[in-house]
Amino acid sequence: MPTQKVVTEQYGEHVKTCQSRWAGALAAEGFDAAIIHAGSEIISFLDDYIYPFRPNPHFLSWLPLTHHHDSVLIVQPGKTPVLHYYQPDDYWYLPPADPEAWWADQFDLNSERSAKAWEKSVPAGRVAFIGDAPCLADRENLNPSRLLNRLHLERTRKTPYEVACMAEAGRVAAFAHREAERAFREGCSEYQIHQRYCQAAGLVDAELPYGNIVALNENGAVLHYQERLHQRPEELHAFLIDAGATQQGYASDITRTYAARQGVFSEMIEAMDALQQDLCSGMREGVDYRDMHLEAHRKIAGVLAAFGIIRVSPEAAVETGLSSVFFPHGLGHFLGIQTHDVAGLIADVEGTEIPRPEGHPFLRLTRVLESGNALTVEPGLYFIDSLLRRWREQGDASAIDWTKVETLRPCGGIRIEDNIVVTGGEPLNLTRPAFG
């Protein structure tokens, strides 16, 4: 397990940025204050199982408190934010530890035994309530959409503290990815590889930013493959792993694909890796991400043509939708506290959607890139039975070499995904250096 490094540098600056963003957004929307509730635990019906806690991302954007249900932050422009830090006197569960100076010093902090204590401190004036805790349900001005859109647009520009958290989440994930590859080479099952990944990352399932995708052979063609089979395949062809880590609430989201042996599929992985790095280096200020998505289609169609899998030009493959048979998802998405981070599709505080390119309904990022944006670049190439069958029945069947497809089908597919921060110059790749 890599020694976990808590990111403390530049946290004070980060809180100042939050303060000025919230002050501006509250003033613009006519609010005097905001109450940000961390969220409450959800307990299963007729039992006492507690679902894994996922805090309100707006709470996390201020505070590195990832399992602190019922804590509440009160934000007022021009005043030090007030944190009601919930520390119940409860002998059934371990309450949150005492606050640590490196983050707590930024707040006026009240330790609370009651989850309702903050209710006596609601400021006068027009107050926005942010969160999904049941105790907020009857409040006026709950999650006002224009206010949230404003804050979401601000959050697309990461602070240096946030970038450092994401880099650390990338470092931990890359360490675990290397362990997962070793487990694959040793012939482990999906279940065993998943366990090796979690152990190497030092995380349990509930602490992962999203459910790991650990896919051997043809399972790599299932985009959100969710099983972890105990049974090992008789013959190993390929391994696709899409797995991240979290650091202080910030996610990494990384995919790698490996071939069991040298051959056509390993050469295709190399070609996809080269085009993925090309795309990564194009993530610059002023670039429309939709253009990069379409560029990815042209490049992937180029790989398909070069390997003789399709018999039409790359341009024709993109034009007719043939490239989408092999690459049916978006090139990537914003990344941050949420794995699919906020505001990837909105143009303004009204939430006006920036349209996706026609024929590309799953793209999650349509904005023009700005310095500070953090995003994924994850081109893919898969052999998906249902999409291939549909093309064979409804498209130009002669455009595909079906014999080649049949030989590659047992390999599933290829996806290679890095995390990128857009800067004023060269894009910052948080993932490649972490693999060493």
**Which of 429, 432, 421 has the alpha carbon at shortest distance from 174?**
432
Per-position x/- string for 196-235, each x denoting binding to Mn ion as judged by CB under 5 A, each - no binding: ----------------------------------------
Number of residues binding to Mn ion, judged by CB under 5 A: 2
Angle, nearest 10°, between helix axes 190-201 and 160-185? 140
Distance in Å, CB of 208 to Mn ion, minimum: 13
Distance in Å, CB of 150 to Mn ion, minimum: 26
By CB under 5 A, which span of 259-267, 273-281, 368-376, 422-430 interacts with Mn ion?
368-376
Distance in Å, CB of 289 to Mn ion, minimum: 14
Of residues 62 and 334, the one with the C-beta less far from Mn ion: 334
By CB under 5 A, which span of 142-150, 251-259, 298-306, 365-373 interacts with Mn ion?
251-259
Distance in Å, CB of 335 to Mn ion, minimum: 7
Tokens of 183: 């487990």
**Which of 217, 252, 294 has the alpha carbon at shortest distance from 417?**
252
Of residues 376 and 431, the one with the C-beta less far from Mn ion: 376
By CB under 5 A, which span of 136-144, 218-226, 261-269, 370-378 interacts with Mn ion?
370-378
Q: What contacts 24+ positions apart, CB below 8 Å, involve 67-73?
A: 67/96, 68/38, 68/96, 69/38, 69/39, 69/40, 69/41, 70/37, 70/38, 70/39, 70/40, 70/115, 70/133, 71/38, 71/96, 72/35, 72/36, 72/37, 72/38, 72/118, 73/35, 73/36, 73/38, 73/107
Of residues 112 and 253, the one with the C-beta less far from Mn ion: 253
Distance in Å, CB of 250 to Mn ion, minimum: 14
Of residues 218 and 253, the one with the C-beta less far from Mn ion: 253
By CB under 5 A, which span of 101-109, 180-188, 371-379, 384-392 interacts with Mn ion?
371-379
Of residues 70 and 295, the one with the C-beta less far from Mn ion: 295
* Given 253, 295, 341, 418, the residue binding Mn ion (CB under 5 A): 253
Tokens of 223: 């985009």
Distance in Å, CB of 333 to Mn ion, minimum: 6
Of residues 331 and 408, the one with the C-beta less far from Mn ion: 331
Contact 417, 377 (CB under 8 A): yes
Angle, nearest 10°, between helix axes 145-155 and 11-28? 150
Residue 335, CA atoms < 13 Å, CB-side half-sphere = 33
Of residues 61 and 338, the one with the C-beta less far from Mn ion: 338
* Given 40, 376, 429, 431, the residue binding Mn ion (CB under 5 A): 376
Q: How buried is 368 (Cβ within 10 angstroms: 0-12 exposed, 13-18 middle, 19+ buried)?
A: middle
Q: Is 288 in a helix, a strand, or coil?
A: strand
What residues contact residue 102 under an 8 Å CB cut-off, 6+ apart?
Answer: 6, 8, 11
By CB under 5 A, which span of 44-52, 68-76, 245-253, 258-266 interacts with Mn ion?
245-253
250: phi > 0 → left, psi -120 to 50 → alpha, else beta; which? beta
Q: H or E segment at 404?
A: helix 402-408
Of residues 324 and 376, the one with the C-beta less far from Mn ion: 376
By CB under 5 A, which span of 11-19, 317-325, 346-354, 372-380 interacts with Mn ion?
372-380
Of residues 136 and 416, the one with the C-beta less far from Mn ion: 416
Q: How far apart are the first and last CA of the chain?
A: 16
* DSSP letters for 90-133: -SSSPPPPPPPHHHHTTSEEEEESSTTGGGGGPPSS-EEEES--
Contact 363, 332 (CB under 8 A): no
Of residues 181 and 417, the one with the C-beta less far from Mn ion: 417
By CB under 5 A, which span of 7-15, 178-186, 223-231, 252-260 interacts with Mn ion?
252-260
By CB under 5 A, which span of 130-138, 189-197, 247-255, 263-271 interacts with Mn ion?
247-255
Of residues 238 and 331, the one with the C-beta less far from Mn ion: 331
d(CA 18, CA 417) in angstroms, rounded, equals: 29
Tokens of 90: 């409860």
Name the amino acid, one letter, at 372. G
Distance in Å, CB of 57 to Mn ion, minimum: 17
Contact 266, 350 (CB under 8 A): no
Distance in Å, CB of 253 to Mn ion, minimum: 4
Which residues in 158-187 contact Mn ion (CB under 5 A)? none
Which residues in 11-70 contact Mn ion (CB under 5 A)? none
Q: Which residue ranges make up the site for Mn ion (CB under 5 A)?
A: 253, 376
